Amino acid sequence: MHPSPRAGQTDTASQGVTVKVGERQAAVDLDIVTYYGQSIVEVSEAIRRNVIERIEGMVGLQVTEVNITVDDLYFEGESERQKSRVL
């Protein structure tokens, strides 16, 4: 696991993801976009569970935090150009 790239880099696969790794623990910060009308609480809880299960299962680190920030909402029918405002 690697932290997200610094400003000016273009690795889109890791945009919105920051991971701080210690000897035995990890803390994750995620920036997400979700669909309008979905429960932000439910979406966040599902993401949090999945991230914890995957990190602990794959690399054996204890996940101490998964902080989720909702940066934007996607509205049905919105074009690709409109929804990709976050760089």
Is 3 a member of any domain? no
Is 1 a member of any domain? no
Is 10 a member of any domain? no
Is 48 a member of any domain? yes
Q: Residue 3: what pLDDT?
A: 44
Q: Residue 45: what pLDDT?
A: 97
CA distances from 11 to 20, 65, 76, 81 (A): 18, 24, 27, 19
Is 7 a member of any domain? no
Q: For position 56, which CATH number holds?
A: 3.30.429
Is 9 a member of any domain? no
- Per-residue pLDDT, averaged over 53-72, amounts to 97
- Per-residue pLDDT, averaged over 71-76, amounts to 92
Supply the range of the domain harboring residue 30.
Answer: 16-78
What is the count of structural domains for the chain?
A: 1
pLDDT confidence band for 77 (50 / 70 / 90): confident
